[in-house]
Structure 1
Amino acid sequence: MGFFDWLTRRLLGAGRPTPNRPEWAEVSEEAGRSKRLRATAAHRPQLLAQNGLPPLATRDDLARALGISRGALDWLAFPDKAKEPPHYSAFAVPKRSGGYRVLYAPKGRLKKAQQWVYREILAKVKPSAAAHGFAKGRSIHTNAAPHAGKDIVITLDLQHFFPTITYRRVRGIFQSLGYGEEVAIALAMLCTVRPAEKLRGLLGGQRHRMLPQGAPTSPALANLACRHLDARLAGLARKFGCTYTRYADDLTFSGDAAFERTLKRFLPLLHQVVKKEGFELQKGKTHFARRGARQEVTGLVVNDGPRVPRAYRRRLRAILHNARKTGLEAQNRDKHPHFAHALRGRIEFIRSTHPQLAVKLLAELKALR
């Protein structure tokens, strides 16, 4: 009995295999694929060539492209039913807004395979025009800029963003790119994880395989999973004469006074679109900011153009000033393990809107090290 035959029997239970049913399709159903889904199993080499993607027709092709054996691929993509994901280190970290975020760090061989999938496949597929997070040439600055100088800015959060994007969606993404079912299943299994039971409460109760936050493939897959959502929300924004952008799970709409007068009609339609696309808005995280108040988008104030908030700049300048007397570590009140590196990250954040100040702050930081 080959490795994959043994693995299939372990996953599905001993017994006679289903007649005329490919082994990888059986495992796919175990991974959470509904039997009612229409199987779009065709490999479409012309579409792959059009997108500049590797022409992988079988799992053997995928294994060769990854530079590993077929057995190693099956071991990475189709792990046995373990209580803990065998190819990840999972841990919960506190969020600034309260609660915890579950991060998954893929282990060596899986991480290397995921990096190949990202580099050779996902990085070659452009996200929607509305997506500004995890997209080359886009940033929090490009996400905030379209909302500058508007009469009203509305920000909303998608709840349990990565856990909501399940194996079924991910497999569908790879099939939409032109991969046949066999390869799409293997790719989707490489890029998803079955959540450990003890962590499900932090993941919205998700039990099925999902995108692991922390894997190199997850940000790009999340953007691709939102293509239809972005298209529908951009269309809704055009209908109401407002602007829409998305940065990861942060949705932003802005417009003039005429748009503000339509909010009673706009908001129910917005909720309806999000729900129909399989997502959910986080309760209590919808914020309205009119021109007279501070309007903030992805950490930048946009009342008169994207800029880092003054209070943020003041706090960083105070840390560096005090560190000249006490040393850097005395200012590390949150016990950050790489405090100097974190401060440099804050300076780079400031550089996006205040480049001259960033140069000065960076020089001060270097003088302290």
Structure 2
Amino acid sequence: MYDAVVIGAGPAGLMAAEELARAGRRVVVFEAKPSPARKFLMAGKSGLNITKDEGREEFIAAFGDGFLAPMLEAFGPAQVVIWARGLGQEVFTGSSDRVFPKAMKASPLLRAWLGRLQGMGVELRSRWRWAGFEGEALRFDTPEGAQIVAPKVTVLALGGASWARLGSDAAWVPWLVEKGVEVAAFRPANMGFAVEWSAHMAKHFGAAIKGAALHVGGRVERGEFVISARGVEGGGIYAVSKDLREGAALVLDLMPDVSGEEVVDRLGRMRSSETVVNKLRKLGLSPAAVALVMEFGRGVPVGEAVKGLAVRLAGPRPMDEAISVAGGVTQAAVTEGLELRAIPRVFVCGEMLDWEAPTGGYLLTGAWATGRWAGIAAAAVGR
């Protein structure tokens, strides 16, 4: 009989495996893909943002309803930094208090981590795809055919429903639901939004809008976003994506450091015969920002359009394009140790759980914190 099994070799699953091994359990990690942590590696291609250097209360508040609060108290930004340094990965704090490994990429950290896990006796089996339950046992599709595994304790770290090509395809949902586990419907999070552009916008696809203030549902966020053929996306949009998903309007202040009165005064000093495009250029707007005003501000006084441009969105982009998801195994479905109430000795962690956080270091810290929490609780089973 297997002792401790972890299904899913992403950040949450590997962290659960580490805690199980540290507690003396014999651990096998099963991964459906040919190699581990594919989404983790993809996320780190443009710079691996592992956490955010900010106050404890502010950091935890970014996760919303407090579901993850005890886990983040135990493994928050300070602990993430210590853990990374323990793997020989020095870190630094960049702009907006985001924390990165000095190597910037995910691969050096992952290699060091896998090496440590191997040294702790953790076995990793690739191309073992979980295929549901066989009674109380686990069924896997493997290169050698179907395999049945009956561990003493199991940790599920199968991801959510975004980036299916990297392994997070939510195929596990019906198997847990059949066992009586409550799973909230998945929704995209940290995603772009579709816009039905007119033809003149095509030449601006790929252009960034910098320095704007995004007014959404009573909130104001400063951030950069990109105009794409599909709509609008990027950090500024992701920061307000939850409110936009729930129906709030997007209004842009394209000159947030200049008062409305000053904008009107500057416009008033320009020749009345000048075109709107020329006036916008003289205000200092980029060509892409000018195009946005022309796209959404026709019929609105120029000053009002610059300071309060209502952008017409056509809904969120598909979930498989989202960086993360909301929804998953509900808080009511698990114990304080993240054990499934309906399936004893089975624990869940990572994006399988129903929590949502913005980009900027929160997502990885949340995955690690829940994996650690589940691993510690699972290690105590049968002891």
Q: Shorter-chain TM-score: which interval?
A: under 0.3
Write 1 or 2 for the structure with the bigger share of strand.
Answer: 2
Higher relative contact order (CA 8 A, sep 6+): 2
Write 1 or 2 for the structure with the bigger share of helix.
Answer: 1
TM-score, with normalisation over the residues of structure 1? 0.23
TM-score, with normalisation over the residues of structure 2? 0.23
